[in-house]
Chains A and B, each alone.
Chain A
Amino acid sequence: MSLNRLWAYANPKKFIETTDRVLPAIWGLAAICLVAGLVWGFFFTPEDYRQGATVKIIYLHVPAALMAINAWLMMLVASLIWIVRRHHVSALAARAAAPVGMVMTLIALATGAIWGQPMWGTWWAWDPRLTSFLILFLFYLGYIALWEAIENDDTAADLTSILCLVGSVFALLSRYAVNFWNQGLHQGASLSLDKEENVADVFYYPLLVAIAGFVLLFVALVLLRTQTEIRARRMRALAARERMG
């Protein structure tokens, strides 16, 4: 697909028409992968010799943590497109993704704390990865609040784009914190391009299916919520036009 064809989706009408066609399939695939990954992981995988049954939490924790970081990176790309090309759909897509990313971050933090209590003996530690994830969560809250606080859509898109650029440092830090600092409780990545570093195959394959489910769920939610933001923006524009007579 040439870049010019891609920009056609910056047209709100075209975006809604196209996403209306593909959304049912994405919802369906998301449900299939999520159910398959979680059922496989929960019911049909053994206990880990060190972690016992708590290993089953990785099917939620790892995909949620991945999506928490990648949602912010998606918002970064959409924000950059807004800054450079002034396409409203991209700014609205970033706005639409923020609550989804925030919930993913919350799931990662909550499941991490629940897992940490029996494994580390504490719900929380000021470990580099945990702390950077907490800061990322606060950035999500700030980003959402900033959109809500500013009435003018373009000004809100400009300011939130700048906030997104700043927050990207913490999104990347969340991803690589365990590599930068050796101290801290959090173990290394569960998934890696280096197969030696991955979790054992028996956990790895259901984890991949669960990750696919989370990615598809994220895509479905962001497309749906972007449609909603486009309609809300049109409502505001029509209402303003009506007020002006």
Chain B
Amino acid sequence: MPDLGKYADTVLSAYAVSLLLIAVLVLLSIRRARKMKAQLEEFERKAKRHG
């Protein structure tokens, strides 16, 4: 860990906020993508079965 001196809180909070926002964005995007893919496949399967 580098010595951040009197600005340690400033630097660490900037990194924490940014990385948290990026992680939430990536996770929500991946979760919604998987959910939508599965839902569409299920919907198309059902539609095929009912002609």
- Which residues of A approach B to under 8 Å, CB–CB? 38, 42-43, 47, 52-54, 56-57, 60-61, 64, 99-100, 103, 106-107, 110-111, 114-115, 117-118, 217, 221, 224-225, 227-228, 231-232, 234-235, 238-239, 242
Bound complex: CA A232 to CA B11 (Å)? 40
Say yes or no: B32 contacts A53, CB within 8 Å. no
Interface SS of A by simple majority:
helix
- Which residues of B approach A to under 8 Å, CB–CB? 2-8, 10-11, 13-15, 17-18, 21-22, 25-26, 29-30, 32-33, 36-37, 39-40, 43-44, 47
Known: A103-B22, A235-B43. A43 touches B2 (CB 8 A): yes
Bound complex: CA A209 to CA B44 (Å)? 43
| Of the residues A100, A111, A227, A232, contact of B18 by C-beta under 8 Å | A111
Say yes or no: A56 contacts B11, CB within 8 Å. yes
| Of the residues B4, B5, B17, B33, contact of A110 by C-beta under 8 Å | B17
Bound complex: CA A1 to CA B15 (Å)? 40
What are 21 A-B contacts defined by CB distance under 8 Å?
Answer: A38-B15, A52-B7, A53-B5, A54-B7, A54-B10, A100-B25, A103-B22, A107-B17, A110-B17, A110-B21, A111-B17, A111-B18, A114-B14, A221-B26, A221-B29, A225-B29, A227-B37, A228-B37, A231-B40, A235-B43, A239-B43
What is the CB-to-nearest-CB distance from B27 to chain A, in angstroms, rounded to a whole number? 11
| Of the residues B10, B15, B22, B37, contact of A217 by C-beta under 8 Å | B22
